[in-house]
């Protein structure tokens, strides 16, 4: 996946390691991009809303589960 070197990666892109794809697989790139978007949506939803410890816990669990699902999807593809 070619990244614009002038912009910083989003939290989701960092969380799934969007720049790491030694095989250069387009399918892996697509999975990483989609899961990065999911994680970014989870993070963006919290902005402007009241934050509670329970909400933070649920957000972090959702992100962790998305990372796990992303890793299994990449493993299945490769």
25-48 residue pLDDT tens: 999 999 999 999 999 999 887 666
Global pTM value: 0.83
Residue 8 lies in a domain: no
d(CA 32, CA 13): 8
Please give the structure tokens belonging to residue 46.
């919290």
Residue 48: give the domain boundaries: 25-77
pLDDT in the model for residue 48 = 62
Residue 55 lies in a domain: yes
**Which segment of 8-17, 36-45, 59-68, 69-78 scores lowest on mean pLDDT?**
36-45
Residue 39 lies in a domain: yes
12-29 residue pLDDT tens: 999 999 999 999 999 999
- Contact 59/42 with Cβ under 8 angstroms? yes
Please give the structure tokens belonging to residue 12.
């989701």
């Amino acid at each position: 996946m070619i990244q614009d070197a002038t912009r910083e990666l989003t939290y989701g892109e960092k969380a799934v390691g969007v720049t790491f794809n030694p095989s250069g697989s387009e399918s892996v790139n697509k999975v990483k991009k989609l899961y990065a978007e999911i994680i970014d949506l989870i993070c963006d939803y919290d902005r402007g809303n009241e934050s509670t410890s329970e909400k933070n816990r649920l957000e972090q669990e959702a992100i962790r589960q998305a990372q796990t699902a992303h890793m299994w999807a990449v493993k299945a593809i490769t």
